[in-house]
């Protein structure tokens, strides 16, 4: 079993009658997702991706990744939101948050276009100065401001370094299949392009070229990642029965928490390599469920680090939260605590103990303390941090998200709320067509 959900740390907070009652809603939502009869059903391509992903494109991703690995020291991945988080999450989870500093035979990878900071972009530019560089711009719409600005900057850098023809070999574009300015531009310039399928939204796109190309450049086995997702798809789709399907149990438990006033879910990991995975999960759930005045607010922590900052409020603050712990059973490395003759720190009782065991005891102690403090914990265990396990986990959370959105009564596949800031920003920047809004906003800012 790649993944197991244990409910023993939440059971006492759940009313058995309520759990039974939510089954019919879950059965209905599960059916809607599988049959494509729910809201947003034009965006269900991700449900079958692990098994029906375009084979030709998949092979081309692998070939391009080999070329990139051979021809550059630095690979700059340009994108934001769903066009960024999945790739970074997988690279940090499987490799390391310190990936760029490790000894390796794959390029350093930097992410740009995921903010509007001049300092951040300048720093990546200066890192690229004496290095061979390739870039991958990822934008489904092709019009998102942050990646579009970064693409301009890096395209200019590459053209200056290698000339227009040389740059062409180093620019890879992942975008919409046919529509959109970026696709047209890429074809005109002769850049190699990869597709974000029309029926896959940004936050569900990690298993398309959006995620797969950068992930493969990092030396990660994308076949095994897809296999993990495929196994999860089979499992999640098989039944809506809460007692037989941990994916549906997760949906049931989090919705019952929400209905009982726990409107904040904290994703907990005890490994820093999961920090970006948590960011990916936050976007997935925040953008899918947070609408129409509804939604569980997704947040995250890395323990034990954050026990020294947020531990107090989690233990003892407003009781509006529950936690979901993702635990990786088999650690990738071990570290034995050394014996110290002087024993100044009094830690000799731990001499010879593997640090993973200390981390596990910290986890168990924390879970018990938090449930004693009325913060229920959902416990999800995966076998290891392999490609297969992570692919499984990604799909598990995607599928749960789709079903959960329907149980909540929202369209989990749109994101109307993210437009508001963009309109204001364009107006304030003086984009043609926004003259009236500019005047009104500037008046409010006086
Ligand atoms: O999940 C989403 O839809 C968003 O986060 C988008 O991925 C993000 O806004 C970037 O959009 P685009 O890929 O069109 O540049």
Write out pLDDT tens, residues 125-168: 999 999 999 999 999 999 899 999 999 999 999 999 999 999 99
Full DSSP string of 89-148: HHHHHHT-TTGGGS--SS-EEEEESSS--HHHHHHHHHHHTTS-EEEEEEESSS--HHHH
Residue 171 pairs with which residues in a beta bridge?
A: 135
The reply to whether ligand 1 has any atom less than 6 angstroms from the CB of 81 is: yes
pLDDT above 70 as % of the chain: 100
30 is catalytic: no
Catalytic residue among 70, 422, 423, 439: 422
**What b/e string do you get for 20-52 counting C-beta neighbours within 10 Å, with b at 16 or more?**
eebeebbbbbbebbbeeebebeebbbbbebbee
| Ligand 1 atom 12, closest CA | 139
pLDDT for residue 328 is more than 90 = yes
Catalytic status, residue 422:
yes
CA distances from 207 to 1, 109, 135, 394 (A): 22, 19, 19, 9
Q: What is the pLDDT of residues 265-282, one digit of tens each?
A: 999 999 999 999 999 999
Which pLDDT score, from 0 to 100, does residue 238 have? 98
pLDDT at 44 > cutoff 90: yes
Residue 412 — pLDDT band, cuts 50, 70, 90?
A: very high
Q: Are 329 and 382 in contact (CB under 8 A)?
A: yes
Report whether 276 contacts 97 (CB < 8 A).
yes
Closest CA to 393 of 210, 206, 150, 258: 206
Measured torsion, CA atoms of residues 234, 238, 242, 243, in degrees rounded to the nearest 10: -90
Q: How far is the CA of 142 from the centre of ligand 1 (A)?
A: 9
User: Does ligand 1 have an atom closer than 6 angstroms to the CB of 173?
Assistant: no
Q: What is the phi/psi pair of residue 388, to 5°? A: -60, -45
How much is the pLDDT for 1? 81
133 token code pair:
């560089």
Tens of pLDDT along 279-301? 999 999 999 999 999 999 999 99
Confidence check: pLDDT of 180 > 80: no
* Residue 139 CA to ligand 1 centre (angstroms): 7
114 Cα to the center of ligand 1, angstroms: 11
Helix (H) or strand (E) holding 171: strand 171-176
What was the pLDDT predicted at 178? 82
Would you say the CB of residue 82 lies under 6 angstroms from ligand 1? yes
Q: How many angstroms separate the CA atoms of 54 and 407, rounded?
A: 31
Nearest Cα residue to atom 15 of ligand 1: 139
């Amino acid at each position: 079993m790649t993944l197991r959900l244990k409910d023993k740390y939440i059971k006492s907070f759940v009313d058995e009658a309520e759990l039974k009652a939510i089954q019919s809603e879950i059965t209905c939502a599960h059916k809607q997702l599988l049959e494509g009869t729910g809201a947003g059903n034009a965006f269900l391509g991700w449900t079958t991706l692990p098994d029906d992903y375009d084979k030709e494109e998949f092979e081309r991703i692998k070939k391009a990744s080999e070329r990139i690995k051979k021809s550059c020291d630095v690979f700059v991945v340009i994108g934001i939101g769903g066009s960024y988080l999945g790739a970074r999450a997988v690279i940090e989870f499987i490799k390391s948050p310190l990936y760029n500093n490790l000894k390796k035979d794959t390029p350093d990878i930097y992410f740009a276009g995921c903010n509007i900071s001049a300092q951040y972009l300048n720093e990546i530019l200066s890192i690229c100065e004496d290095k061979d560089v390739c870039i991958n711009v990822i934008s489904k719409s092709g019009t998102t401001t942050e990646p579009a600005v970064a693409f301009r900057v890096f395209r200019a850098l590459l053209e200056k370094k290698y000339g227009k023809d040389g740059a062409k070999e180093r620019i890879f574009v992942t975008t919409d299949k046919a529509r959109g300015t970026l696709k047209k531009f890429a074809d005109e310039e002769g850049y190699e392009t990869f597709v974000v399928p029309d029926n896959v939204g940004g936050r569900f796109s990690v298993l398309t070229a959006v995620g797969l190309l950068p992930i493969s450049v990092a030396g990660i086995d994308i076949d095994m990642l897809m296999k993990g997702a495929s196994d999860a798809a089979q499992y999640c789709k098989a039944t809506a029965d809460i007692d037989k399907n941990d994916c549906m149990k997760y949906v049931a438990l989090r919705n019952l928490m929400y209905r009982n006033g726990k409107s904040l879910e904290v994703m907990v990991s005890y490994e820093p390599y999961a920090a970006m995975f948590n960011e990916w999960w936050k976007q997935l759930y925040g953008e899918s469920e947070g609408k129409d005045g509804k939604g569980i607010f997704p947040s995250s922590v890395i323990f034990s680090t954050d026990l020294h900052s947020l531990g107090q409020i989690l233990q003892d603050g407003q009781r509006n939260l529950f936690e979901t712990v993702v635990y990786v059973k088999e650690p990738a490395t071990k570290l034995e605590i050394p014996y110290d003759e002087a024993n100044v720190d009094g830690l000799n009782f731990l001499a010879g103990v593997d640090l993973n065991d200390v981390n596990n005891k910290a986890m168990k102690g924390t879970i018990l303390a938090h449930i004693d403090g009325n913060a229920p914990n959902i416990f999800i265990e995966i076998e290891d941090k392999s490609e297969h396990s992570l692919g499984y986990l990604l799909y598990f959370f995607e599928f749960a998200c789709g079903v959960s959105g329907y149980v909540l009564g929202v369209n989990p596949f749109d994101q109307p709320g993210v437009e508001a800031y963009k309109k204001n920003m364009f107006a304030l920047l003086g984009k043609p067509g926004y003259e009236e809004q500019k005047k009104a906003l500037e008046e409010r800012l006086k």
